[in-house]
Amino acid sequence: MGVWRVGQSAAEQRSSRAQPRLYAVRTVAGRELDVALIMEQRVKDENIPIYAIIVPPQIRGYVIVETSAAFHAANAIQGIRYAKGVVPGVLRYEDVESLLKPEAVVETLKPGDIVEIISGPFRGMKAQVVRVQPGKNEVVLNVLEVEYPLQITVPGDSVRPARERGS
């Protein structure tokens, strides 16, 4: 009886241990995908219980690992030159989900908003929204940092709302 009870609690412990959690792994910026691919290979070769590896596009220098315990992530990155270590603490699923399902920027913009252009030949310049075309996922902008009026149409992914600097 007693043995049975011990067996049950061990099974319970095992199931609670198998609960997936999200851990962040710090990497050299720009090498996130390399780290993820090496980890994937190692997980397959050595049967490490890592369920998924996420390379979030918004965050440079971090890879998110879904596993049951931090030491599995530490094992998987051991010896990888571009991996710098597992960040202590667990990430919340809601926070990571919001990284994976980015809302379309176009839908949050309105004419008159100031945006920053983040790709293409005008990268880094500020611009004012003239018109938004959500159907085409495009936005028409007036580039502010040129001496003559310049209107351009760019994809919605190429802009981000400009941050107001504190006064």
Partner 1 sequence: MSARRSRTPPFKACRRCKSLAPREATRCPVCGSTDLSEDWEGAIIVIDPENSLIAKKLGITRPGRYAIKVR
Contact footprint for partner 1 (CB under 8 A): 18, 20, 22, 30, 33, 36-37, 39-40, 43-44, 49-58, 66, 93, 96-97, 99-100, 102, 124, 155, 157
DSSP 33: H
- Provide the minimum distance between the beta carbon of 37 and partner 1 in the complex, in angstroms, as a whole number: 8
Of 116 and 157, nearer to partner 1 (C-beta) is 157
Phi, psi (deg, nearest 5) at residue 19: -55, 120
- Report which secondary-structure segment, H or E, holds 56: none
Of 119 and 167, nearer to partner 1 (C-beta) is 119
Going from the C-alpha of 6 to that of each of 1, 9, 21, the distances in angstroms are: 9, 5, 26
Whether 67 and 73 have beta carbons less than 8 Å apart is answered as yes
- Provide the minimum distance between the beta carbon of 76 and partner 1 in the complex, in angstroms, as a whole number: 10
Of 50 and 139, nearer to partner 1 (C-beta) is 50
DSSP 164: P
